[in-house]
Amino acid sequence: MHEEHVGHTTTTGLDNRKMLMWVFLASDCLFFGSLIATYMVMRSQSVVGPYPGDIFDIPYTSVSAFVLLMSSLTMVLSLSALQRGNHKATRIWLLATAVLGSIFLGGQYYEFTVFVAEGLSLDQNIFGTTFFVLTGFHGTHVAIGVMMLLSMYGASAMGKLPTSSSLNLELVGLYWHFVDIVWIVIFTIVYLIPS
Amino acid sequence: MENQLATFLGYSPLILIGSTIAAFILFKANQLKPVGSDSQSESSDHPTPKLYVQIAAVLLAITVLEVVIVIVEMPTMLLIPSLLILSTIKFGFVIGYYMHLKFDHKLFSTMFLGGLFLAIGVMVALIGLFGNFTLPSDVVEAESKSDEHHELHVDTPLRTLLGLNGSKDGDNEGSVSSTEKIVLEVASGISGVEFAFEPGTITGNHGEIVEIRFDNQGTIAHDFAIPDLDFSVSTTNANEIGKAVLTLPQTAGTYEFICSIPGHKEAGMTGQLIVN
Amino acid sequence: MASLSYILRRPEESDGIWGWLTTVDHKRIGTLYMTTSIFFFLVGGAEAIAMRAQLASPNSTMISADLFNQLFTMHALTMIFLAIMPMGVAFFNWLIPLQIGARDVAFPRLNALSYWVYLFGAITLNLGWLTANSPNAGWFAYANLTSIQFSPTVGLDFYVLGLLVLGTSSLLGAMNFVVTVINLRAPGMTLIRMPIFTWMAFITSILLVLAIPVITIGLIELGFDRFFGTLFFDSAAGDVLLWQHLFWVFGHPEVYILILPAMGMVSEIFPTFARKPLFGFPVVVFSGIAIAFMGWSVWAHHMFATGMGPVPDSVFAATTMAIAIPTGVKVFNWLATIWGGNIRFTTSMMFALGFIALFTIGGLSGMTHAAAPSDLQQTDTYYIVAHIHYVLFGGSIMAIFAGIYYWYPKMFGRLLNEKLGKWNFWLVFIGMNMTFGPMHYVGLMGMPRRNYMYPSDMGWDFWNQISSGGSLIMAVGILIFLHNFFRSRRKGEIAGNDPWDARTLEWSISSPPPHYNFAEIPEVTGGDAFWETKYPGGKKREAPVVDIETNDIHIEMPRPSFYPLITAVGMALLALTMVTHPIVGVLGLLTLLWGSYGWMLEPAE
């Protein structure tokens, strides 16, 4: 559909870099899958509290889930704008995505401080351990994503992101959406499904 | 183990139905046409910004629905499959439309879904395997709050995920503190004899709910099991006490109890439960 | 930003030491991998010789218990992660582009990065020797022996950090090869026409992409427990067995990662030296796919002794027995390839034949482990050590030797000496069987593994002496190999393009190949692409080599780059933060950012 002009022809006609990104995302499924498996296996095994039911604020977390979902929208709008040659819109939507991602991160940070204040720490119980490491690695992925978004913004602002290079933005977008769907999984399994 | 397997098999129709519904909805969603036309689109079925916004609205709506059904505390047996279905739909929209998989070469879908299903397979396998998780002894003796969660039959993660807490023997919560409970005590390792139960016979009345207290006074780990009633007290280390609740059968009879660790029954760890 | 990339702009030439440090050429990277892995093979071998010296006699006090623990841990880690896997990657690097008719891999700089990260990971893993505190809890590092409580010294920190870095290297390389095989094949080379070695390399790379993240998580969790006090593998609050599951979910695909490249190599060698095409090519391919697929379902056969219960034990026993089927199919295909062929007993062929025999023996002992009840007797005894070494030494290493003797001429332009090669083969073959054969018996007689000392009245003494003697014979054989390897660089017989009259595309160009590999990308019309050009209609004809000068062909190859090396340094420093000082982490992060941005901003070729 959206075939970029590829420098060399490839056997499948698909761009090497796009393929590399999908291979990487398949690999990252196993990364997060193992972390989530660890969380689930230890789910009800905490010896002391606080327990998930005591500490989760579902309405609060659902707001941050909204934020991340919206950032996927702004991301895809940014790419769409670039493909249509509208560089100003590209940058606006890019910035919006980075801002939403940062709000998500801020929200996570705040949520973590609240939990810690309520007695849940990395080494308090197995819930603390598995929860913080899982969401911490997700947050790290988001932070790296925000860095990439801002880099793309900078490139565009300097005139170095022409429509012909829209694949670069598409690749950042794929990564960003992946981080969003991992959050969909985490939100459901960790927060919503009662333990 | 048979218990857990049976439970899982019992729930699989629910999961199957749920996934079929999700797949059907996704298939229907696949046929969504972009509303209005955008002069930029190269072909008529490529997503437009308008479609992306509509999908975002759907994603929000589903998230709201998920939160609502959690807050109103829908029965767990319905709640968990529903959440899984709803999340799968969100997942599908993002990978299909935002990540463009629906329109791209099938190879990308194969790569990604391959990794995804392997990850899910590993997760499910680990959850199933950890059904055999036994608690260390100091947890068995831990404070009463944890007793509610762990003391009796082990809550396997799969059972919890499927909304099934409590064992065949009855509900965990609160049963420990019931003042009407009858306690049957059995010990091992008395007088230096490692592989024997003392007393060799315990008695109860049919239909009663009893608590079996197994006091391991020996030097190695043992457990207490009644195979014919599919009942066991989890492995108890030396100088520890294991407890579990048993509902005696309605009919009178004699049931053998053993230590189920290989070789122990043969070494003498056997006895009789007489139900009047 | 533009000015930054001028500071380290891509060099135009690639001579001297800077040439090697900035190379992005798959052939040079392959040579780097090969020499480094030979070095670490010797290190691992020294560790083994030390152990065999200790075990040559009962009640020996030559080596302390703790040092012995470090030796068997490091021996396994070195052999698996620093010798066999990188040697496989050396061949992937050298052969995949040549066999598919490409000029390089899909991402040359990423390729270079993979090598430098491997080198730094190898160093990290071995840093423990500097403090006399190498990892000492076995290569599988079971929890909670590995907790900070029971292993307070720094050795296991090197384990965690070293393997995290090495895993990253393998992952990056594997992703590169997957894209290369899918996307860079010459016109007309459909997957079924692709050489068998590239097929096995492709499958191995897919396994790596999927398996490495699992061990990464296990290592991260162990690292967090050790560095930050988390409770993942805490005996009371967490679950000790979780480590074993995570480790072996990776660990079992890992052993297929170790053997599939070897199988690919011998699958190329037999047709050449029997002058017959590989029997049942599609079946060999599908067996490889089946092994990779089924390899995900067998991991808990490493855990039969952990009390999982009768249902898991039975399931995993059944899946383990099932996976012997595609493996056996391959053996029959190799035998059928050789059967009735016109066999030349070159050194390479002899190693390949030895591979079949020894790997089969290892497979048979493996089948006895598949039955959980018998495994309970064999576990933790030398019977398992015998199995491991028959499949890994008798399997992977023998095939690697076969591959080196076969492809060395292509890589370096000269043949290895056949006479020295025969000495190499026989000493290694005899020595190997002398060392590991008796271990079957001694293990069944109850000798436990990973013990630094054994008492003298158990009936094990004699066979341990034999084993230790065998190890010395192996060592001599390997020294002869080294001598052959280095001597032949200068004094070996000139190889020419196609010394073996072989079947695949790499033999259609000069030895060593020119920088650009193929002057013209070949058009492929069938499997065994080169054979078709050489013997159209059965009669030999001189395969024309296109000359780049006379045909006025202008080929642009990717220029070298500094940034892979810089990025690798950044990653290594980041990893070392945990055992040094936060400032190292800051430095590492800055270096990593410099490397990454420089990489993105420099011209793509």
pLDDT at position B251 is 83
pLDDT per residue over A64-108, tens digit each?
A: 999 999 999 999 999 999 999 999 999 999 999 999 999 999 999
Interface predicted TM-score of the whole assembly (ipTM), two decimals: 0.93
Distance from the B21 Cα atom to the nearest Cα atom in chain C, whole angstroms:
29
Last residue of a domain, one of B114, B131, B148: B131
Which residues share a beta bridge with B184? Answer: B212
pLDDT per residue over C212-259, tens digit each?
A: 999 999 999 999 999 999 999 998 888 999 999 999 999 999 999 999
Interface probe with A: pick from B42, B97, B112, B141, most Cβ of A within 10 Å: B112
Which residues share a beta bridge with C389? Answer: none
The verdict on B127 and B189 lying in the same domain is no
- CA-based nearest residue in chain B for residue C300: B129
pLDDT range class, residue B25, cuts 50, 70, 90: low
User: How many other CB atoms are there within 10 angstroms of residue B138's CB atom?
Assistant: 12
**C170 part of the active site:** yes
Question: Which residue bears the tokens 């560790």?
Answer: C47
CB contact under 8 A, A123 and C232: no
Collapsing DSSP to helix, strand or coil, C138 comes out as: coil
Q: Measuring CA to CA, which residue among C516, C519, C544, C550 is closest to residue C530?
A: C544
Interatomic CA distance for residues B122 and C214, integer angstroms: 10
**C234 part of the active site:** no
pLDDT per residue over C312-346, tens digit each?
A: 999 999 999 999 999 999 999 999 999 999 999 99
The verdict on B243 and B127 lying in the same domain is no
Burial of residue C118 (CB within 10 Å: 0-12, 13-18, 19+) is buried
Contact with chain A for residue B21, Cβ under 8 A: no
Asked whether residue B228 is assigned to any structural domain, the reply reads: yes
Burial of residue C329 (CB within 10 Å: 0-12, 13-18, 19+) is middle
**C369 part of the active site:** no
Residue ranges of B 41-60 with Cβ closer than 8 A to chain A: 42-43, 46, 48-49, 52-53, 55-56, 59-60
Distance from the B153 Cα atom to the nearest Cα atom in chain A, whole angstroms:
13
pLDDT at position B30 is 52
Asked whether residue B238 is assigned to any structural domain, the reply reads: yes
What average pLDDT score do residues B47-66 get?
92
Interatomic CA distance for residues B172 and B156, integer angstroms: 13
pLDDT range class, residue B45, cuts 50, 70, 90: low
Interface probe with A: pick from B48, B123, B140, most Cβ of A within 10 Å: B123
pLDDT at position B266 is 85
Chain B residues touching residue A180 (CB < 8 angstroms): 94
The verdict on B115 and B32 lying in the same domain is yes
Residues 6+ apart with CB under 8 A from C266: C334, C352, C355, C356, C399, C402
Asked whether residue B175 is assigned to any structural domain, the reply reads: no
Residues 6+ apart with CB under 8 A from C81: C121, C122, C125, C163, C166
Interatomic CA distance for residues B229 and C137, integer angstroms: 43
Which residues share a beta bridge with B198? Answer: B187
**C327 part of the active site:** yes
Mean pLDDT of chain C: 93
What percent of chain B shows pLDDT beyond 70?
65
Contact with chain B for residue A67, Cβ under 8 A: no
Q: Measuring CA to CA, which residue among C218, C222, C219, C220 is closest to residue C231?
A: C222
Residue-number span of the structural domain to which B112 is assigned: 2-131
A165-179, B221-235, C281-295: lowest mean pLDDT where? B221-235
CB-nearest partner of B118 from C182, C210, C312 = C210
pLDDT per residue over C269-286, tens digit each?
A: 999 999 999 999 999 999
Interface contacts (A, C; CB < 8 Å): 104
Last residue of a domain, one of B131, B164, B192: B131
Distance from the A158 Cα atom to the nearest Cα atom in chain B, whole angstroms:
25
Interatomic CA distance for residues B213 and B187, integer angstroms: 8
Contact with chain A for residue C207, Cβ under 8 A: no
**C440 part of the active site:** no
pLDDT per residue over C441-461, tens digit each?
A: 999 999 999 999 999 999 999
pLDDT range class, residue B16, cuts 50, 70, 90: low
What average pLDDT score do residues C120-130 get?
94
Chain C residues touching residue A28 (CB < 8 angstroms): 213
pLDDT range class, residue B227, cuts 50, 70, 90: confident
Q: How far is CA C526 from CA C178, C190, C530, in A?
A: 22, 9, 9
User: Helical H runs in C128-195?
Assistant: 155-183
**Cβ pair C427, C474 in contact under 8 A:** yes
What percent of chain C shows pLDDT beyond 90?
86
Q: Measuring CA to CA, which residue among C20, C205, C14 is closest to residue C96?
A: C205
Residue scoring higher pLDDT (C466 or B35): C466
What average pLDDT score do residues C53-60 get?
95
- Show contacts of C233-236: CB within 8 Å, 24+ apart: C233/C143, C233/C144, C233/C146, C233/C147, C234/A126, C234/C144, C234/C147, C235/B136, C235/C144, C236/A47, C236/B136, C236/B138, C236/B139
Interatomic CA distance for residues C78 and C84, integer angstroms: 9
Interatomic CA distance for residues C388 and C435, integer angstroms: 13
pLDDT range class, residue C13, cuts 50, 70, 90: low
pLDDT per residue over A153-180, tens digit each?
A: 999 999 999 999 999 999 999 999 999 9
- The arrangement of secondary structure in A59-192, i.e. its CATH architecture, is Up-down Bundle (1.20)
A40-54, C200-214, C269-283: lowest mean pLDDT where? A40-54
Residue ranges of A 92-111 with Cβ closer than 8 A to chain B: none
Chain B residues touching residue C305 (CB < 8 angstroms): none
**C147 part of the active site:** no
CB-nearest partner of C183 from A12, A123, A154 = A12
* Strands B240-247 and B231-236, bridge-based pairing: unpaired
Interatomic CA distance for residues B81 and A44, integer angstroms: 19
The domain that holds B212 is classified in CATH as 2.60.40.420
Which residues share a beta bridge with B197? Answer: B188
pLDDT range class, residue B259, cuts 50, 70, 90: confident
Collapsing DSSP to helix, strand or coil, C238 comes out as: coil
The verdict on B96 and B191 lying in the same domain is no
- CA-based nearest residue in chain A for residue C596: A148
pLDDT at position B166 is 38
pLDDT at position B131 is 58
Residues of B contacting chain C (CB within 8 angstroms): 1, 5, 107, 115, 118, 121-122, 126, 129-130, 132-133, 136, 138-139
Asked whether residue B136 is assigned to any structural domain, the reply reads: no
What average pLDDT score do residues B254-259 get?
89
**Cβ pair C495, C522 in contact under 8 A:** no
**CATH superfamily placement of domain C25-558:** Cytochrome c oxidase-like, subunit I domain (1.20.210.10)
This prediction has a pTM of 0.83
User: Helical H runs in chain A?
Assistant: 16-41, 52-55, 58-83, 87-117, 126-157, 166-186
pLDDT at position C7 is 55
The verdict on B109 and B191 lying in the same domain is no
B88 CA to centre of own chain: 21
Asked whether residue B192 is assigned to any structural domain, the reply reads: yes
Which of the residues C116, C256, C408, C452 is marked catalytic? C256
| Cis-peptide, bond into residue B199, ω within 30° of zero | yes
pLDDT at position B148 is 38
Asked whether residue B63 is assigned to any structural domain, the reply reads: yes
**Structural domain count of chain B:** 2
Q: What is the token pair recorded at B156?
A: 């396997």
pLDDT of residue B42 exceeding 70: no
**Cβ pair B135, A49 in contact under 8 A:** no
pLDDT per residue over B113-169, tens digit each?
A: 999 999 999 998 998 888 533 333 333 333 333 333 333 333 444 444 444 443 333
DSSP codes, C270-334: HHHHHTSPPTTHHHHHHHHHHHHHHGGG-GGGGGGGG---HHHHHHHHHHHHHHHHHHHHHHHHH
Residues 6+ apart with CB under 8 A from C583: none
pLDDT per residue over A127-160, tens digit each?
A: 999 999 999 999 999 999 999 999 999 999 999 9
pLDDT at position C235 is 87
In this structure, chain C runs to a length of: 605
Mean pLDDT of chain B: 73
pLDDT at position C533 is 82
Which of the residues C52, C103, C185, C302 is marked catalytic? C302
In this structure, chain B runs to a length of: 276
User: How many other CB atoms are there within 10 angstroms of residue B27's CB atom?
Assistant: 10
Chain A residues touching residue C220 (CB < 8 angstroms): 133, 137
pLDDT at position B133 is 36
| Cis-peptide, bond into residue A50, ω within 30° of zero | yes
CB-nearest partner of C236 from B107, B126, B139 = B139
- CA-based nearest residue in chain A for residue B49: A77
Q: What is the token pair recorded at C109?
A: 């700089």
Which of the residues C204, C327, C435, C591 is marked catalytic? C327
Tell me how many helices (H) and strands (E) chain C has.
20, 0
Last residue of a domain, one of B131, B146, B171: B131
Highest mean pLDDT among B243-257, C50-64, C591-605: C50-64
Distance from the C183 Cα atom to the nearest Cα atom in chain A, whole angstroms:
5
What percent of chain C shows pLDDT beyond 70?
98
pLDDT of residue B34 exceeding 70: no
Interatomic CA distance for residues A165 and A4, integer angstroms: 8
**C302 part of the active site:** yes
pLDDT per residue over C83-99, tens digit each?
A: 999 999 999 999 999 99
Interatomic CA distance for residues B137 and B140, integer angstroms: 5
pLDDT of residue B174 exceeding 60: no
Chain C residues touching residue A123 (CB < 8 angstroms): 228-231
